[in-house]
C-alpha cells in the first residue's frame, strides 16, 4: 500500500469511530476541555481521553494548558483537517459548489446574526477577530468586540491586519458592559481568562471558546510579530468555518418556516 493510500485509509479509520467523530464535531466549533467533552458527548472521561490521544497523534488536534490553570484545552486544526479531507477525495465538485452558491443568492433576506468577540484587554485577538469577520462577511454579520479590562488597540494588531488588507484603525477597545442588555446570537471568547469572566447574555444561540495564546504578552519583538501572525491565521481559519455554519443554520431556518 503506497503512502498516500495508507494516509487516506487512516483518515477514514479515525472518522469511523463514533467517539472520535463526535469530538471532532464539537471541536470544529469550540475549544473544549476533556471533562466538557465527556459531558457534552456523554462518554466516560477515560474513553474521551483515549480518543483525544488518537486524534492528537494523528495531528488533527492540538492542546494547550489553560491560561487560568487546570485542564488542557483541545483544538481542532481546521486547516490540516481540510487538507486531509480533500486528499481523501472529499472536495466538492465545482458544478455542485456553483449550484449551492446560486441557491444562496436566491434565498430570502434574513435577519443579520450578531456576534460578540471577547478577550481580557480587547486589544489584540478580539480586535483582529472583529475586523476579520466584518471583512469576510461583507456586512452580512453584525460583529463587535469587547473586554473585561479594556485598554487600547495594539499597534501590531493593526499592522498584521494591514498585511491582510483589513483596516481596523476605526475600532476601539470597549468594556463588555457597553453591550449588557443587547441581543447576540454568538459570544466567542478568544482567551481563557475572558471565558471565566464572560457575562450572561439572554437569548444567546451559542457560546464558543477559542483558546488562543496572547501574542501581546511576548517580549521579543520578532517573536511577538510571529505570534500575532499565527493568531491572525488561526482566527481567519476559524471565522471562515464559523461563517459556513452560521449561513447553513440561517438557510435551515428559512426552509423550516
What contacts 24+ positions apart, CB below 8 Å, involve 244-251?
Answer: 245/29, 246/113, 246/141, 246/185, 246/186, 247/104, 250/110, 250/113, 251/104, 251/107
Query: Quick one: 156 and 239 in the same domain?
Result: yes
Last residue of a domain, one of 59, 87, 115: 87
Query: Model confidence over 139-190: pLDDT tens digits?
Result: 899 999 999 999 999 999 999 999 999 999 999 999 999 999 899 999 999 9
Rounded to an integer, the average pLDDT of 205-221 is: 94
pLDDT for position 99: 43
Range of the domain at 62: 3-87
What are 248's three cell numbers? 447553513
CATH number of the domain that residue 77 is part of: 1.10.10.10
What are 205's three cell numbers? 444561540
CATH number of the domain that residue 219 is part of: 3.40.50.2300
Which residues form the catalytic set?
A: 119, 191, 198
Query: Model confidence over 45-74: pLDDT tens digits?
Result: 999 999 999 999 999 999 999 988 888 999
User: 95 in a domain, yes or no?
Assistant: no
Query: Quick one: 121 and 34 in the same domain?
Result: no
Residue owning grid cell 434565498: 107
Query: Quick one: 223 and 134 in the same domain?
Result: yes
Cα 145 to Cα 44: distance, rounded to the nearest angstrom: 36
pTM of this structure: 0.82
Which is nearest to 115 in space by CA: 233, 236, 206, 196? 206
Amino acid at each position: 500500500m503506497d503512502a498516500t493510500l495508507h494516509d487516506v485509509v487512516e483518515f477514514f479509520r479515525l472518522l469511523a469511530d463514533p467517539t472520535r467523530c463526535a469530538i471532532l464535531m464539537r471541536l470544529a466549533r469550540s475549544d473544549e476541555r476533556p471533562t466538557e467533552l465527556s459531558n457534552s458527548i456523554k462518554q466516560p472521561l477515560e474513553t474521551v481521553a483515549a480518543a483525544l490521544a488518537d486524534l492528537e497523534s494523528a495531528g488533527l488536534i492540538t492542546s494547550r494548558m489553560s491560561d487560568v490553570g487546570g485542564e488542557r484545552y483541545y483544538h481542532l486544526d481546521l486547516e490540516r483537517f481540510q487538507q486531509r479531507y480533500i486528499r481523501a477525495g472529499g472536495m466538492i465538485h465545482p458544478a455542485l459548489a456553483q449550484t449551492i452558491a446560486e441557491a444562496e443568492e436566491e434565498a430570502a433576506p434574513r435577519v443579520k446574526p450578531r456576534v460578540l468577540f471577547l478577550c481580557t484587554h480587547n486589544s489584540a485577538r478580539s480586535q483582529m477577530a472583529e475586523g476579520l469577520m466584518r471583512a469576510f462577511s461583507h456586512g452580512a454579520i453584525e460583529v463587535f468586540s469587547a473586554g473585561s479590562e479594556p485598554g487600547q488597540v495594539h499597534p501590531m494588531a493593526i499592522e498584521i491586519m494591514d498585511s491582510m488588507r483589513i483596516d481596523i484603525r476605526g475600532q476601539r477597545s470597549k468594556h463588555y458592559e457597553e453591550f449588557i442588555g443587547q441581543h447576540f446570537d454568538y459570544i466567542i471568547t478568544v482567551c481563557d481568562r475572558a471565558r471565566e469572566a464572560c457575562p450572561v447574555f439572554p437569548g444567546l444561540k451559542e457560546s464558543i471558546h477559542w483558546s488562543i495564546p496572547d501574542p501581546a504578552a511576548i517580549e521579543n519583538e520578532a517573536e511577538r510579530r510571529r505570534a500575532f501572525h499565527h493568531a491572525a491565521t488561526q482566527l481567519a481559519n476559524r471565522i471562515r468555518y464559523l461563517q459556513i455554519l452560521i449561513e447553513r443554520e440561517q438557510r435551515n431556518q428559512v426552509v423550516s418556516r
